[in-house]
Amino acid sequence: MVGGGVSGLTTALELQERGRPVTLVTPEPPHHTTSVLAAAIWHPLLRRPDPVYLRRATTALHRLTALSRRPAESGVRIRTLTEFSATSSEVPWWVREMSGDNLARPAPCPPGYAAAWTLPVPAVDADRYLAHLAERFAARGGRTEHRLVTDLAAEAGRTGAVVNCTGYGSAALAGDRSLSLVRGVLLRCAKPEGLQGCWIDGSDPRRPTYVIEREHDAVLGGTADPGLVATTVPEETVADVLERCARLVPAAAGARVLEVRVGFRPTRGTVRVERDPYIPGLVHNYGHGAAGYTLSWGCAADAADLLDKPH
């Protein structure tokens, strides 16, 4: 198992549940990976129907919902999400697909928006959640090696089976030129008094606006900046995020910024969960972009299935 972010940890746990001994190889502990910088709310992102995506997201929804029964331990809590659309009066395809489970309900539509709806979703405190997954992995006998992998073929040849969850590292390790980085800026803020729930306006894909309540703080965002690699965030970007969030959620007005976080989402046209065509015993699981938590358990199950099945 190569890669120690949310995809790597969930895949490692999935393999353990199937009776496989697992060694996790990662140069960084979970709290130093890109996964810890995420807003980490369950929220499908694709705008066009994709049954495979929905199946994987639904698997993760069920697993995260189960973990929310012990929120202090897992860092997962169910929050009420209100989503707004300024461009379409129709709810997203995935909301329509899941409405049979009474997941989504129409919500009052404020001025300037064409539609709004609410649904209960798992919201994850990334720091606590990643630590919880790592603790579960170790408690089940999992071993962790802190080292940099430079040759996946050599690892697969040595161990017989490897799942590659290295995110953008796969651009070099797997020679995947379709991978790119999308920078995301979010603000960790002191939780404003009276703030309860989560809100998202994804009408502008370059400037998604969201307010996420957590147990002891709140996350405000954000940006989606393709190709930007700078880690310094201009003051005007912080001001723009605060202004957009306050306009979307009046309770967020005046939020006190505790930390400005910058993450780089490894993105490709489609998530890659497949056997390597040239290296026996190697399965890939990367390219989730901003949907790492939303797809985590579903992609982990699919990767484990591929490893279990003979060629």
pLDDT in the model for residue 104: 76
Two structure tokens written together for 58: 């639904």
Q: How many domains does the chain have?
A: 1
Q: What is the pLDDT of residues 68-82, one digit of tens each?
A: 999 999 999 999 999
Contact 137, 24 (CB under 8 A): yes
Does residue 1 fall inside a structural domain?
no
pLDDT band at 112 (very low <50, low <70, confident <90, very high): confident
Q: Are strands 143-145 and 23-25 parallel, antiparallel or unpaired?
A: parallel
What number is the average pLDDT over the span 189-208? 92
Instruction: Measure the CA–CA gap between 230 and 264, rounded to whole angstroms.
Output: 10
CA geometry: angle at 188 spanning 186 and 192, to 5°?
120
Does residue 137 fall inside a structural domain?
yes
Q: Which of the pair, 94 or 204, is modelled with greater confidence?
A: 204
pLDDT over threshold 70, residue 32: no
Closest by Cα among 128, 236, 226, 242 to 186? 242
Which residue range(s) make up the domain with 228? 6-308
pLDDT over threshold 70, residue 280: yes
pLDDT band at 86 (very low <50, low <70, confident <90, very high): confident
What number is the average pLDDT over the span 217-235? 91
pLDDT in the model for residue 68: 96
pLDDT over threshold 90, residue 59: yes
What number is the average pLDDT over the span 147-152? 95
Q: Are strands 162-164 and 282-288 parallel, antiparallel or unpaired?
A: parallel
Does residue 165 fall inside a structural domain?
yes
Closest by Cα among 124, 103, 106 to 115? 106
Instruction: Measure the CA–CA gap between 254 and 242, rounded to whole angstroms.
Output: 8
Closest by Cα among 285, 8, 6 to 145? 8
Q: Which of the pair, 87 or 233, is modelled with greater confidence?
A: 233
What number is the average pLDDT over the span 23-42? 79
What number is the average pLDDT over the span 247-269? 92
Closest by Cα among 247, 263, 255 to 220? 255
The CATH number of whichever domain residue 151 belongs to comes to 3.30.9.10
% residues pLDDT > 70 (the chain): 95
pLDDT band at 124 (very low <50, low <70, confident <90, very high): very high
Instruction: Measure the CA–CA gap between 270 and 288, rounded to whole angstroms.
Output: 8
Instruction: Measure the CA–CA gap between 243 and 252, rounded to whole angstroms.
Output: 9
pLDDT over threshold 90, residue 182: yes
pLDDT in the model for residue 31: 63
Instruction: Measure the CA–CA gap between 294 and 304, rounded to whole angstroms.
Output: 17
Q: HEC string of the chain?
A: CECCCHHHHHHHHHHHHCCCCCEEECCCCHHHCHHHHCCCECCCCCCCCCHHHHHHHHHHHHHHHHHCCCHHHHCEEEEEEEEEECCCCCCCHHHHHHHHHCCCEECCCCCCCCEEEEEEEEEECHHHHHHHHHHHHHHCCCEEECCCCCCHHHHHHHHCCEEECCHHHHHHHCCCCCCEEEEEEEEEEECCCCCCCEEEECCCCCCCEEEEECCCEEEEECCCEECCCCCCCCHHHHHHHHHHHHHHCHHHCCCCEEEEEEEEEEEEEEEEEEECCCCCCEEEEEEEHHHHHHHHHHHHHHHHHHHHCCC
Contact 203, 43 (CB under 8 A): no
pLDDT in the model for residue 40: 86
pLDDT in the model for residue 122: 94
Asked whether the bond before 222 is cis by omega within 30 degrees of 0, the reply is yes
pLDDT in the model for residue 271: 96
pLDDT over threshold 90, residue 36: no
Mean pLDDT of the chain: 91
pLDDT over threshold 60, residue 102: no
Does residue 23 fall inside a structural domain?
yes
pLDDT over threshold 60, residue 101: no
Instruction: Measure the CA–CA gap between 241 and 307, rounded to whole angstroms.
Output: 42
pLDDT in the model for residue 91: 72
